Amino acid sequence: MAAKYLFFPLSLALLLSLGRVGVAEAKLKVDENNQLVVVHESRPHVARAGVWQTYRDHIHLKAGQEKKPLVLTFTNGSEGRPKMTDLRISIAGKPFATIKDFDENGKFSRSLNGVVTAGDTVMATEVFGPSGARIVWKLYSEKPAITSVQPNPFGRDDKLTVRGNNFSDNKHSLKATLAGKTADILSASSGELQIKVPPHIPAGEQSLIVTVDSAKSNAFKVIGRPNIYWLDVTSTSPSQPVMILGRGFSKVASENEVAVGPHKARVVSATETNLTFIVPEMPFPQHHLPLTVTTNGVASKDLLILDVDIRVIPNILDAPKVVK
């Protein structure tokens, strides 16, 4: 069954402490600081008058999911429909709950840890009630959470250390996305990941999301900075064009700024990996002026220098092959 995801600002510990108190009211308190995710949920199980019916559902857990806190919740009489008057629930062939376990509002919650294993587990729900009575269930787990990312701001050549909770040491069950692009996961544990910055990430604020199996973390804000690697000249005079190779530039020229020492230059063309600017007017000669590129408000940290002089001297070093 394809899982749908609904988020609630409750911890599993709180959900269990509520015992048979329902969680439907929690839908009214949705916020961004939630800790729970629905990993499976049923379609409505509907009664026919005067007839016992059996519904069989498959709870499928990937390897490692069974080790995380799991809580199964039932709602008898969902969506304002009539309630079942009797029911029996079994998991893996063993009795799990009866109608006596439900509260007066038709709610029931219980931990599944130690009850189910990785793989496929069959849950049978036998129901009896008036025509149209219905019952539904949801399986909750704690979702991953990111607490810190280093370095931040980051460059395109950096490896990011992502710390948090409810990750996994199984890289195959993990996915990390930065600005919507999938990042290579270099190492993984339950509390820390190392990832490689994916290509085509522009400078500025971006969202990092970690997915474990199918449970997504909230977006964590990180800041990408541009990298600068090479100039096509080492010396030139004012009003002359200079090309910079790097990464993380904006393709919109106006979103990039170039400073030659304290002097602001005019950017005339831009791609993700190169900028062309006009050397600003200034007294010269001036030697060893540092260049800084600022893209979407974030400045580069790499060191490139330019001499402003009457002579134009091409860079004799080969241009590096820049991977976006």
The ranges assigned to domains in the chain are: 7-142, 145-224, 227-314
* Pick among 1.20.950, 2.60.120, 3.40.1130, 2.50.20: CATH of 7-142: 2.60.120
Question: What number of CA atoms fall less than 13 Å from residue 318's CA on the CB side?
Answer: 3
Give the separation between CA 85 and CA 154, rounded to whole angstroms: 59
Instruction: Give pLDDT, residue 22.
Output: 35
The residues near 314 (Cβ < 8 Å, ≥ 6 apart) are 232, 233, 234
State how far Cα 141 lies from the chain centre: 17
For residues 260 and 292, give the distance between their C-alpha atoms in angstroms, rounded to a whole number. 7
* pLDDT digits 0-9 by tens, 229-239: 999 999 999 99
Q: Which helix (H) or strand (E) holds 212?
A: strand 204-212
d(CA 258, CA 267): 7
Is 87's pLDDT higher than 90?
A: yes
Which residue has 């029911």 as its token pair?
87
Q: What are phi and psi of 254, to 5 degrees?
A: -70, -15
User: 17 pLDDT exceeds 90?
Assistant: no
Cα(11)–Cα(227) distance, rounded to whole angstroms?
41
Predicted pLDDT at 10: 43
Of the two residues 144 and 32, the one the predictor is more confident about is 144
145-224 and 227-314: identical CATH topology: yes
Tally Cβ neighbours within 10 Å of residue 137.
23
The dotted CATH code for 145-224 is 2.60.40.10
- pLDDT band, very low/low/confident/very high, at 3 (cuts 50, 70, 90): very low
Contact 190, 169 (CB under 8 A): yes
Q: How far apart are CA 22 and CA 4, in angstroms?
A: 19
pLDDT at 322: 65
Percent of the chain predicted with pLDDT > 70: 89
**pLDDT band of 324, cuts 50, 70, 90:** low
Determine the pLDDT at residue 157. 84
| pLDDT at site 26 | 33
Question: Considering only the top CATH level, what class is 227-314?
Answer: mainly beta
Q: What is the dihedral of CA 8, 11, 14, 18, to 10 degrees?
A: 40
Contact 189, 164 (CB under 8 A): no
Give the model confidence (pLDDT) of 283-303 as tens digits. Answer: 999 999 999 999 999 999 999
| pLDDT higher than 90, residue 205 | yes
Question: Over 50: is that where the pLDDT of 78 sits?
Answer: yes
